[in-house]
């Protein structure tokens, strides 16, 4: 295997998983190592409740992600979420609506369907996904959750051509199913601004991925029951050390599924989960640098 490993290294990739777990020297633009992201916030009322509860804990968020899809939101709801994000100085990520779960095919809902993730079937779904982004971007949203590599590539081409705003941010979902440095490098090269690998990625794999890319990596600190339900709070200090800059994706264990129609009560529970992760950081790696507030202009 030496020749294979040497070739990988000649491309600037790790020759294997990094069991030595080297400390990442990479940082966000403001020097921070970690930021908090709360997923599954499906509308403005829930988002408002989340932000109010987080403030009660004396914390702040850097990113809120809606996962049900832009198709599920009215223009007024999108505008309200954009305004809330602006007032709170955080990133808003809206999920592109056309995806496997809203297609006419039942494949994704079968045991075999897990192999396709949330990827898009047919060029019409690509067209609809682009229209989804154009619609939300026109209302002021600048962050989008992408599930399909081809969709990411064409959205990046649209961004470069000026067909959509140049400052939009593309976050690749864990539902694309990638989990190795080569896939991460490919996604970065076709337009990903942050990457969410598979939820059960191990530290040595994560460390190798960080060596391969420069964009932020988004890691689930916990998960809905539908994706395993496992909680990784005690691994967070090492997540930060080996993979910074990193978004700690927290609060998912409150939901049953990825597209759970969250309530204001759910939002309060997610805020509590953020506080629990912060407690672990404060106790076990107090030297870790929390990224500053007021980051929306970095997108």
pLDDT at 295 over 70: no
- The helix (H) or strand (E) run that includes residue 187 is helix 181-189
Tell me: the pLDDT tens digits for 60-112? 899 999 999 999 999 999 999 999 999 999 999 999 987 777 777 777 676 65
Whether 280 is in a domain gets the answer: yes
Q: Where are the beta strands (DSSP E) in 31-78?
A: 34-38, 63-66
The span from the CA of 252 to the CA of 257, in Å, is 9
pLDDT at 297 over 50: no
pLDDT: which is higher, 236 or 262? 236
With 0-12 / 13-18 / 19 or more C-beta atoms within 10 angstroms meaning exposed / middle / buried, residue 190 is: middle
Count the neighbouring beta carbons within 10 Å of the beta carbon of residue 79.
16
Average pLDDT rounded to a whole number, residues 45-51: 96
Average pLDDT score, the chain = 92
Whether 16 is in a domain gets the answer: no
CATH of the domain at 50: 3.20.20.70
Average pLDDT rounded to a whole number, residues 115-126: 84
Whether 298 is in a domain gets the answer: no
R_g over Cα of the chain: 18
Residue 257 is predicted with a pLDDT of 63
Whether 93 is in a domain gets the answer: yes
Residue 99 is predicted with a pLDDT of 72
132: cis peptide before it, omega within 30°? no
Residue 228 is predicted with a pLDDT of 81
Return the SS3 of 43: coil
Least trusted range by pLDDT, from 42-56, 87-101, 189-203, 282-296: 282-296
Tell me: the pLDDT tens digits for 147-176? 999 999 999 999 999 999 999 999 999 989
Whether 154 is in a domain gets the answer: yes
Whether 246 is in a domain gets the answer: yes
The span from the CA of 92 to the CA of 84, in Å, is 9
Report how many domains make up the chain: 1
Whether 9 is in a domain gets the answer: no
Residue 118 is predicted with a pLDDT of 82
Distance of CA 176 to the CA centre of its chain: 11
Whether 17 is in a domain gets the answer: no
pLDDT tier, 299 (very low <50, low <70, confident <90, very high otherwise):
very low
Q: What's the domain range around 192?
A: 24-102+113-292
> Which residues neighbour 259 within 8 Å (Cβ) at sequence distance 6 or greater?
40, 42, 67, 68, 69, 101
Return the SS3 of 59: coil
Residue 111 is predicted with a pLDDT of 66
Beta strands 63-66 and 34-38 are parallel
Return the SS3 of 283: helix
Average pLDDT rounded to a whole number, residues 13-29: 98
Residue 298 is predicted with a pLDDT of 44
pLDDT: which is higher, 11 or 253? 11
pTM of the complete model: 0.91
Contacts within 8 Å (CB) and 24+ apart, 50-57: 50/267, 50/268, 50/270, 50/271, 51/84, 51/88, 53/267, 53/268, 53/271, 53/272, 54/271, 54/274, 56/271, 57/271, 57/272, 57/274, 57/275, 57/278
Average pLDDT rounded to a whole number, residues 239-246: 98
């Amino acid at each position: 295997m030496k020749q294979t490993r040497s070739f990988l290294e000649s491309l600037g990739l790790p020759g294997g998983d990094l069991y030595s777990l080297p400390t990442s020297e990479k940082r966000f633009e403001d020097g921070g190592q970690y930021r908090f992201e709360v997923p599954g916030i499906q509308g403005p009322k829930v988002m408002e409740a989340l932000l109010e509860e987080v403030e009660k804990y004396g914390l702040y968020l850097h990113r809120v992600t809606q996962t049900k899809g832009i198709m599920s939101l009215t223009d007024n709801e999108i505008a309200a979420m954009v305004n809330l994000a602006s007032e709170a100085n955080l990133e808003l990520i809206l999920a592109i609506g056309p995806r496997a779960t809203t297609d006419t095919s039942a494949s994704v809902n079968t045991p075999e369907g897990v192999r396709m993730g949330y990827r898009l079937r047919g060029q019409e779904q690509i067209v609809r996904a682009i229209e989804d982004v154009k619609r939300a971007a026109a209302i002021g949203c600048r962050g989008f959750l992408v599930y399909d590599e081809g969709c990411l590539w064409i959205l990046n081409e649209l961004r470069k051509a000026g067909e959509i705003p140049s400052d939009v941010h593309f976050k690749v979902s864990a539902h694309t199913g990638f989990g190795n440095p080569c896939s991460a490098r490919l996604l970065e090269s076709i337009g990903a601004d942050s990457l969410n690998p598979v939820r059960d990625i191990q530290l040595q794999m994560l460390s190798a991925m960080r060596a391969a890319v420069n964009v932020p990596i988004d890691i689930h600190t916990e998960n809905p029951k539908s994706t395993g339900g496992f909680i990784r709070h005690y691994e967070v200090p090492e997540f930060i050390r080996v993979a910074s800059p990193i978004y700690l994706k927290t609060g998912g264990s409150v939901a049953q599924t990825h597209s759970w129609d969250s309530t204001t009560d759910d939002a309060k529970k997610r805020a509590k989960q953020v506080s629990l992760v912060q407690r672990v950081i404060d106790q076990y790696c107090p030297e870790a640098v929390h990224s500053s507030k007021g980051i929306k202009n970095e997108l």
